[in-house]
A = this chain, B = another copy of it.
Amino acid sequence: MALSARKEKILRAVVDNYINTAVPVSSKELAEKHMPGLSSATIRNELSALEEMGYLVQPHTSSGRVPTSDAYKLYVDKLMPRRKLTRSELNVIKKYFSAQIGEIEDVLKKTAKVLSEITNYTSVTVMPKMHDALVKNIKFVSLDPYSMLVVIVTDGGVIKDTVVELDESISEEYLSAAAKFISKAFYNRPLFEVLDPDNAIKEEIESYRTFYAYVTEILEHYFSDEDTDEGRVMLEGSSKLLDYPEYSDVNKAKTLFQVLDAREKLYPLIKESGEMDFSIKIGSAAGGGLEDCAIVTANYSIDGKTVGTQGVIGPIRMDYPLVISVLDSIGKVISSLPLHKGQLRDVNLGGADKEDEKE
C-alpha cells in the first residue's frame, strides 16, 4: 500500500520537523512551512490518514503528531534527503586527519571524536576481532636468560606480545629455530586454527610442543579477552546525549547510561551489522534499554578488509541525513589510508557545494 506523493511529502516534512525540534508537529506549522497552497484543514485530513496507517501518533488529543518507528524506517529508506556536508564540517574532518596518524586504532580514536563532534551524538567504535586474521609470523625474542617475548604477527598487524618467564635458560638459537618452525607451520592460516590445528600440523610441531604451548596459552588469553567484548568498544561524547530533551528526565538518562556503561552488552548491538555498509537500528530494534534510541553504524574497510565499525547512538529522532553523510565521508577517508605509512592521500569527500552555515 504505497503512499500518495502528497502523503509522502507530508510525512517527510513531519519527520524533518520533528528531528529538528523534538516538538509534536501541528497541521498549521506544516501548512505554513512546508505545504504552501494547502490549508491546515486539508493537512489534518492527511495526517489523520497517516495516523490510521501507523506512521504517526498523537501524544494526546489536541497535540501535534509524532512519527512512529515505522515512519523513521520509511524515512531513512525512501524519504530522507541526501545531505551533503558543509565546508565547515568537512574542515573539521580534515583538521583531525592533518596530524600524523599511525595505527588503525589511533585512526579510529580520532574519527570517534570527529564523529561525535560533528553530529553531536555519542559515537561508538568497535575494533574488529582477530579470530580470523592470518598468521604472518611468530617470534620468540630472548630478553634475558630466563624470559622471552612472544610476538604474534598477523596480516592485521601485531596482535599480541607477552613476556613469558622460562623455567630454564634457553639459547637464542633454539628460540629462533622454534619460532621459525611454528611460524612456518601456521603461515597464512587464520589465528583460531592455531588453537585447533589439524592432525598433520599437530604432528609436525610435536617436537616443539613446549613452545607451541606458550603460543596457545597466550592466544587463549587473548581470545578470552576478546570474547568478553570489552575494550573493543569505545565511546566518545556520552554527555552529548544529555543535550536532548528526550533525556531531560533523569530516569530515562539513567537507563540509557547503564546500557552505555555495560560495553560488553553494547558490542553485539554495534557489531552484528554484518556485511552491510550501513546499519540503522531504530527503537526496539536497537536493543534492550535503548527503546527510544537509534543506532547508526558503518563498517570501515581498507582494501576490502573491514578494519572497524563505527557509528553513533542518539535519540530516535536522529538527524539521519547528517549522520549518514558523516559516516560516509569518514569511511572514504579511512579507506584511502595507507596503513602503516602515515601519509594521507588526497581524497575527494564530495559535497560542500553550499557555503558554510553560520555556527
Give residues in A with beta carbon < 8 Å to B.
Answer: 100, 102, 109, 136-137, 139, 141, 143-144, 149, 151, 153, 157-158, 161, 163, 165, 221, 230-231, 236-239, 242-243, 247-250, 253-254, 257-258, 260-261, 340-341
Contacts and interface: CB of A to CB of B under 8 A. Distances in A.
A125 to B, nearest CB: 13
A74 B353 CA distance: 63
Contacts of A247: 250
B137 A143 contact: yes
B157 A151 contact: no
23 contacts: A109-B230, A109-B231, A136-B144, A137-B143, A139-B141, A139-B143, A141-B151, A143-B153, A149-B151, A149-B153, A151-B161, A157-B163, A158-B161, A161-B161, A236-B261, A239-B254, A239-B258, A242-B250, A242-B253, A242-B254, A243-B254, A248-B250, A249-B250
Nearest to A237: B261
Contacts of A158: 149, 161, 163
Contacts of A340: 163, 165
Contacts of A151: 141, 149, 151, 161
Contacts of A237: 261
Contacts of A257: 238-239, 242
B239 A260 contact: yes
A249 B250 CA distance: 7
A156 to B, nearest CB: 11
Nearest to A255: B239
Contacts of A243: 254
Contacts of A153: 143, 149, 163
A141 B139 CA distance: 8
Given A151-B161, A242-B257, A253-B250, A136 B141 contact: no
B137 A144 contact: yes
Contacts of A258: 239
A341 B165 CA distance: 8
A250 B239 CA distance: 11
Query: Ordered nearest first, which 9 A-B pairs have the shortest CB separation?
Result: A239-B257, A242-B254, A239-B258, A239-B261, A248-B250, A137-B143, A139-B141, A141-B141, A161-B161
A176 to B, nearest CB: 9
A282 to B, nearest CB: 23
A298 B104 CA distance: 34
Contacts of A143: 136-137, 139, 153
A248 B251 CA distance: 8
A215 to B, nearest CB: 15
Contacts of A249: 250
A253 to B, nearest CB: 6
Nearest to A252: B250
A45 to B, nearest CB: 38
A251 to B, nearest CB: 8
Contacts of A149: 139, 151, 153, 158
Nearest to A143: B137
